[in-house]
Amino acid sequence: MNRPPPPAGPPRGPPGPPKSRPPPPSHKSGSGSTGKINTSAAPQPEPPLVPPPPPIAHEYFSESKLPSCKSSYCTPAEERTIRRRTCRFLEEACRVLKLPRVAMSTSMVLLHRFYAVHSFEHHDRFEVAVGCILLAAKTEESPKKLISVLQECYRLKNQSKRAAAAAAAAKKSGSGSMDSVSGSAATVASLNLASVSDDGKTKTDKRGYLDLKCETFIKLKERILLLERVILHTIGFELSIDHPYKFLVEQIKKMVPSRQVEYIANASGSNGTSGPTLSMAEQTKMTNELVQNAMNFANDSMHTSLCLQYDPEVVAQTCVYMSGQYCKMRPTEGRRWLDVLDECINMGDLASTAIQIMELIADKKGIDKKTFIPIHTDIERMKKLMGAGTGTSTGAGVHTSRSGDRPRPPLGNSEQREAKRPRM
């Protein structure tokens, strides 16, 4: 069988060399470029680094410019009082819920940051506090159920009403005075607090907890869930919060073994140490005493707006200083406290933070204000030394009087220190 001939085409020859791919076109440097490929040219040098712009001089933190004060809802002093009362509510609620101390402090920082943007007039502080507890518990890996947090906070909020009911019941039965009964937690807890509001929307059981099916609980639950998202958006989803605790412990553990501090009464031998070095027992005693009191001052600082004004390292150094003064200690070898504290703090920051903490503690009942006289005296002495030129110039001209705003140090020309804004 004959096959048809192949179709006509160009004559086939021997295979030639493989075709090379053209190199990629080079970038034209300008309108006069010829477009030729220059494979031997060296790489062009990187453009010179442009220096960063100078820092913008912002305003200092001022309580009069907080939203609640700007809207004339309250004065700076009233705003400060509202913050402190809300922080006390947070502290008691976290204690009832058995949350760790770090979660309690985180909830307070969240509250301060939220009300640095929003006003107390527009958001109920009780509901915001509940949202802060929920977020803080999740952040510090101690989550709590929404129902349990809401129930305990609602019960705690109405505790004063239960105390008044207990006092009225005791007065009616004649079992005791009103003051003694109102302070008895056992009497308050033993009352039958089951009640129904006039409109039928609020129902509570005998322990003071809300009925899960009543309209008040359902709406409150919805508002708390909404507020939780509002808080997250307000703080920019910044949930990594540092507290002064770890910094003050590190500072004390660095000071005590190197014998940078000593008891003032060491010459008399009542509280002092013997010899140039400290034994392990003496180091442990001094460390525990300093840490305990510094922790207490740090806990009190959470009730103020210091977390909006300073880094936690600065607050920690102030707490160490106040703890040393409270324990009647002093730096060794005639040094000042600023010489043994960390370099992150200066005279202005030390004076401002210490005064704010002392003002908070002085408002508490049963506190002897004479305890803080040595701290005030030492701060004034250090300020005079700094102003006389025996040290850095950051402490000169520190304003400690209050005229609506918190005491703030002036801008130091030597350091070109940028003023702080509330950190969101």
Going by C-alpha positions, the residue among 364, 274, 378 that lies closest to residue 325 is 378
Residue 356 predicted with pLDDT over 50: yes
Q: Residue 292 and residue 262: Cα distance in Å, rounded?
A: 17
Runs of H (alpha helix) within 98-257 = 101-114, 125-139, 146-157, 159-173, 178-182, 185-189, 215-234, 244-255
Residue 150 predicted with pLDDT over 90: yes
Count Cα atoms within 13 angstroms, Cβ side, for 133.
32
Residue 365 predicted with pLDDT over 60: yes
Q: Which residues contact 424 (CB under 8 A, 6 or more apart)?
A: 113, 116, 117, 234, 235, 236, 238
Q: Which amino acid, one-letter code, is at 212?
A: L
How many C-beta atoms lie closer than 10 Å to residue 371's C-beta?
13
Amino acid 58: pLDDT: 38
Burial readout 38-63 (b: 16 or more C-beta within 10 A, e: otherwise):
eeeeeeeeeeeeeeeeeeeeeeebeb
DSSP label at 329?
E
Residue 271, burial from CB neighbour count under 10 angstroms (0-12, 13-18, 19+)? middle
- Ranking 41-55, 73-87, 366-380, 410-424 by mean pLDDT, the lowest is 410-424
Residue 109 predicted with pLDDT over 70: yes
Give pLDDT tens digits for 16-36. 555 555 555 554 444 444 445
Mean pLDDT value across the chain: 77
> What distance lies between CA 209 and its chain's CA centroid?
31
Give 181-227 as a DSSP string: HHT-HHHHHTS---EE-TTS--EE-TTSPBPTTSHHHHHHHHHHHHH
Going by C-alpha positions, the residue among 116, 117, 112 that lies closest to residue 90 is 112
Give pLDDT tens digits for 163-191. 766 777 777 766 544 444 444 444 444 55
> Do strands 203-204 and 195-196 pair parallel, antiparallel, or not at all (unpaired)?
antiparallel
> Do strands 329-331 and 261-263 pair parallel, antiparallel, or not at all (unpaired)?
antiparallel
Residue 394 predicted with pLDDT over 90: no
Name, of 320-329, 384-393, 412-421, the range with top average pLDDT: 320-329
Mean pLDDT of 61-72: 87
Cβ proximity of 259 and 276 under 8 Å: yes
Give pLDDT tens digits for 284-339. 999 999 999 999 999 999 999 999 999 999 999 999 999 999 999 999 988 999 99
